């Protein structure tokens, strides 16, 4: 498995968060009926990655020491976001479509993989 520097991970995570926010808050909203997730839920889920992106870009630009602590924080935020996303999907189980499930599960898998890499990197740095 390729190793990444903390700066690379903060940048990847931040860009991914912006992509998630745009997909959820713009694209999926326009095609709400195809995904079966209400606009209010999509907007809520879109706001969270914006905060994560701010955190990521701050860490990318300003953090010089203790990268491992900040990587653990963003990984925890990411995993929490995954639980929130899955919870909302189950809450809307009567309306969410197959495309909605595919989107949510795909996003969660990508985020969990990134979180695993962040935690693995953080643990290496803290040793």
Position of tokens 């209400």? 38
What pLDDT sits at residue 3? 86
Residues found in the chain: 127
DSSP letter string, 41-89: HHHHHHHHHHHHHHHHHHHHHH--S-HHHHHHHHHHHHHHHHHHHHHHH
- 30's CB contacts (< 8 A; 6+ apart) are none
Per-domain residue ranges of the chain: 6-126
Check whether 98 has a pLDDT greater than 90.
yes
Per-residue pLDDT of 71-81, as tens digits, reads: 999 999 999 99
Residue 1: band (very low, low, confident or very high) from pLDDT cuts 50, 70, 90: low
Give residue-wise pLDDT tens across range 15-72.
Answer: 999 999 999 999 999 999 999 999 999 999 999 999 999 999 999 999 999 999 999 9
> Looking at 1-5, 42-46, 88-92, which range is the least confident one?
1-5
Interacting residues of 124 by C-beta distance below 8 A, sequence separation 6+ = none
Of the candidates 78, 85, 3, the one whose C-alpha atom is nearest the C-alpha of residue 45 is 85
Whether 48 and 70 have beta carbons less than 8 Å apart is answered as no
| CA 68-57-50 angle, 5° bins | 110
List, for residues 106-124, the tens digit of each pLDDT value.
Answer: 999 999 999 999 999 999 9
Residue with tokens 């969990």: 112
Query: Residue 104: in which H helix or E strand, if any?
Result: helix 98-126
């Amino acid at each position: 498995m390729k190793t990444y520097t903390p700066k690379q991970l903060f940048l990847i995570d931040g860009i991914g968060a912006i992509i998630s926010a745009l997909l959820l808050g713009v694209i999926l909203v326009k095609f709400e009926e195809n995904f079966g997730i209400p606009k209010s839920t999509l907007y809520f889920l879109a706001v969270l990655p914006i905060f994560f992106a701010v955190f990521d870009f701050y860490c990318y630009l300003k953090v010089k020491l203790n990268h491992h602590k900040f990587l653990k924080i963003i990984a925890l935020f990411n995993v929490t976001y995954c639980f929130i996303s899955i919870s909302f999907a189950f809450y809307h189980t009567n309306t969410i479509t197959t495309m909605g499930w595919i989107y949510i599960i795909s996003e969660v898998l990508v985020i969990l993989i990134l979180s695993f890499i962040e935690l693995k990197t953080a643990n290496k740095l803290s040793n």
